[in-house]
Amino acid sequence: MKTRAAVAWKAGQPLEVTEVNLDGPREGEVLVEIKATGICHTDEFTLSGADPEGLFPAILGHEGAGVVVDTGPGVTSVKKGDHVIPLYTPECRECDYCLNPKTNLCQSIRTTQGQGLMPDGTSRFTTLDGDPILHYMGTSTFSNYTVLPEIALAKIRPDAPFDKVCYIGCGVTTGVGAVINTAKAEPGCRAVVFGLGGIGLNVIQGLRLIGADQIVGVDLNPAKREMAERFGMTDFVNPAEVEGDLVPYLVNLTKGGADYTFDATGNVQVMRTALECAHKGWGESIIIGVAPSGAEIATRPFQLVTGRTWKGTAFGGARGRTDVPKIVDWYMQGKIEIDPMITHTLTLDDINTGFDLMHAGESIRSVVVY
Ligand code: NAD
Ligand code: AHE
Ligand code: ZN
């Protein structure tokens, strides 16, 4: 079939919205009509050329929601008409990783996914001239129709609005999950969140959900303050307005250091600050941000010797087929909020505006509705 998609031809160039060919689903695969997709900073990161795994030409996008249109042979867990959220972290429930309760990082298709290919080593997308176009994160939600492995689809309730719950495909789950699954933060804790964008705000609402006592938000952009307060931030810090070193300032503000700190910036200097303002003896710092190719983190080992822990999280430690439907339920029950964070709704033709808004710091989430 033919489908309209936003193609990333080269790093650093705007996407081109055009028709492409899409082959039907093969064994274990599913054709999905994407109804809506968010634009995450990670899409921008890959498009910029900073991603060591970035390959071109490709169809980016990993924060979608849609409807099953067709299934390939052997597919049993979803059927035509089911509402689904694509999963860039699949859940096969069979690999060593899925069988180990310590991780959510299913590895059953990770190699081909990183190469922009389906598990059989081929792409379903081609140009109208027949040249291959790569998949991205196994999801390629910047295409109106896309093909995914069955294990990369979470079946969700049919009454959930696509233009809101698409955000659960990455940002919401990553932020809330970092608090609940990775930090396992307790009621009454003190926390510092660096970066009050589409991920950091969800960390903040995760902290509010579990009953944190103090939620400090740190961002260079003062315009992010209002929304963060709406989601539960108790103190705002703009590093540009702090005289001297940020670490002692934050340690003082949190009465000795935070129980949990989260980086949602992708900046390795910020990651160091986040570790070092965690409480001596027990503070944990969780890296969420994705850093550019070649960037490295550093600290004095003494920071760890004296009881701080450095951790990371992908997709908030969530097992997608199991956890994503529950997070959709939380949204539908009003337990978590999404709507105010979706600051812009765009058509596919205007998808590059979503990247411009992100660069200008004017959006939290832009969502493309097909
Ligand atoms: P975003 O652009 O919406 O937000 C980033 C925020 O960080 C902005 O508000 C910006 O002003 C702030 N910021 C930038 N530099 C800063 C600094 N030095 N100090 C303080 N604040 C600073 O991006 P997002 O969509 O929220 O994504 C945040 C990061 O999380 C990105 O690196 C993204 O790639 C990553 N991410 C990781 C996962 C995962 O599974 N680990 C999932 C989604 C996104
Ligand atoms: N490919 C990059 C890293 C990109 C990355 O860390 N991706 C996160 C999800 S970000 C979603 O917005 C992730 O899930 N990582 C685990 C994985 O297996 O990719 C690089 O640096 O090579
Ligand atoms: Zn993302």
pLDDT of residue 314: 98
Domain 2-171+317-369 indexed as CATH 3.90.180.10:
yes
Confidence of residue 189 (pLDDT cuts 50, 70, 90): very high
pLDDT of residue 343: 98
Domain boundaries of the chain, sorted by first residue:
2-171+317-369, 183-312
ipTM over 0.95: yes
pLDDT of residue 48: 97
pLDDT of residue 162: 98
Predicted model pTM: 0.98
Q: What is the mean pLDDT of the chain?
A: 98
DSSP state, residue 166: G
Q: Which strands, in side-by-side order, build the sheet including 2-7?
A: 2-7, 16-22, 125-126, 132-133
User: Smallest Cα–Cα separation from 38: which of 63, 6, 67, 66?
Assistant: 63
Told to judge if 63 belongs to the known catalytic residues of this protein, a careful annotator would answer yes
Query: Which of 37, 44, 87, 88 to mutate for ligand 2's pocket (most ligand atoms within 8 Å of CB)?
Result: 88
pLDDT tens digit string along 108-155? 999 999 999 999 999 999 999 999 999 999 999 999 999 999 999 999
The stretch 282-292 carries a mean pLDDT of 97
pLDDT tens digit string along 50-83? 999 999 999 999 999 999 999 999 999 999 999 9
The stretch 208-237 carries a mean pLDDT of 98
Query: Which of 46, 174, 219, 319 to mutate for ligand 1's pocket (most ligand atoms within 8 Å of CB)?
Result: 219
pLDDT tens digit string along 345-356? 999 999 999 999
Residue whose CA is closest, atom 12 of ligand 2? Answer: 42
Length of the chain: 370
The stretch 257-278 carries a mean pLDDT of 98
Q: Is the CB of 46 under 6 A from ligand 2?
A: no
183-312: CATH topology is Rossmann fold (3.40.50)
User: Smallest Cα–Cα separation from 4: which of 23, 25, 24, 18?
Assistant: 18
Place of tokens 């998609």: 5
**Burial class of residue 147 (count of CB atoms within 10 Å of its CB; 0-12, 13-18, 19+):** buried
Told to judge if 189 belongs to the known catalytic residues of this protein, a careful annotator would answer no
pLDDT tens digit string along 94-106? 999 999 999 999 9
Distance from the alpha carbon of residue 198 to the mean position of ligand 1, in angstroms: 7
Sorted by sequence, the CB contacts under 8 Å of residue 96 that are 6+ apart come out as 107
pLDDT of residue 18: 98
